[in-house]
Amino acid sequence: MRVAIIQFLGTNCDFDCKYACDCMGIESEFVWHDEGELKNFDCVILPGGFSYGDYLRSGALAKFSSIMNAVKSFAKYGGYVLGICNGFQILTESGLLTGTLLKNTNLKFIHKDVYLKVENSVCGFAQDIEKKVLKMPIAHGEGNYFCSVDQLKYLEDNNMIVLRYSSKDGSVEDEFNLNGSLGNIAGICNEKGNVFGLMPHPERAVGDLGHDGEEIWKSLLK
Amino acid sequence: MKYIVIVKPKKAILDPQGQAIKKVAQNYFKKDIGDIRVGKYFEIETQESQEIVEDLAKKILSNDVIEDYEVIKP
What ranges do the domains of chain A cover? 2-221
Measured CA to CA, the distance from residue A81 to residue A75 in angstroms comes to: 7
Amino acid at A161: I
- Chain A segment 57-76 residues within 8 A of B by beta carbon are 57, 60, 64
State how many domains chain B has. Answer: 1
CA distances from residue B4 to A9, B38, B41, B69 in whole angstroms, order as listed: 28, 16, 7, 10
- In which domain, by residue range, is B41 found? 2-72
- Residues from chain A that touch B17, judged by Cβ atoms under 8 A, are 103, 107
Yes or no, beta carbons of A60 and B17 under 8 Å apart? no
pLDDT in tens, chain A (222 residues): 899 999 999 999 999 999 999 999 999 999 999 999 999 999 999 999 999 999 999 999 999 999 999 999 999 999 999 999 999 999 999 999 999 999 999 999 999 999 999 999 999 999 889 999 999 999 999 999 999 999 999 999 999 999 999 999 999 999 999 999 999 999 999 999 999 999 999 999 999 999 999 999 888 787
Residue A113 · residue A135 · CB < 8 Å: yes
- Chain A segment 104-163 residues within 8 A of B by beta carbon are 104-107, 146-148
Tens digit of each residue's pLDDT (9 = 90 or more) over B13-53: 989 899 999 999 999 999 999 999 999 999 999 999 999 99
Yes or no, beta carbons of A105 and B16 under 8 Å apart? yes
Measured CA to CA, the distance from residue A197 to residue A92 in angstroms comes to: 8
SS3 A69: helix
The secondary structure of residue A149, as a DSSP letter, is H
Yes or no, beta carbons of B16 and A106 under 8 Å apart? yes
- Chain A segment 33-52 residues within 8 A of B by beta carbon are none
- Residues from chain B that touch A105, judged by Cβ atoms under 8 A, are 14, 16
Helices (H), A106-166: 149-157
Q: Is position A147 annotated as part of the catalytic site? A: no
Q: Which residues of A2-35 are buried (b: 16+ CB within 10 A; e: fewer)?
A: ebbbbbbebbebbebbbbbbebbebebeebebee
pLDDT for A211: 93
Yes or no, beta carbons of B60 and A146 under 8 Å apart? no
| Overall CATH class of domain A2-221 | alpha beta
Residue A152 · residue A192 · CB < 8 Å: no
Substitution target from A56, A97, A107, A142 for chain B, most B beta carbons within 10 A: A56
- CA-based torsion, A182, A47, A41, A72: positive or negative: positive
Average pLDDT over residues B6-15: 92
Among A39, A96, A88, A108, which residue's Cα sits nearest to residue A216? A88
In three-state form (DSSP H/G/I as H, E/B as E, the rest C), the secondary structure along chain B is: CEEEEEEEECCCCCCHHHHHHHHHHHHHHCCCCCCCCCCEEEEEECCCCHHHHHHHHHHHHCCCCCEEEEEECC
Yes or no, beta carbons of B66 and A93 under 8 Å apart? no
Q: Rounding to the nearest 10 degrees, give the CA dihedral for residues B2, A66, A198, A51.
A: -60
Q: Is position A140 annotated as part of the catalytic site? A: no
Q: Is position A214 annotated as part of the catalytic site? A: no
CATH of the domain at B34: 3.30.1280.10
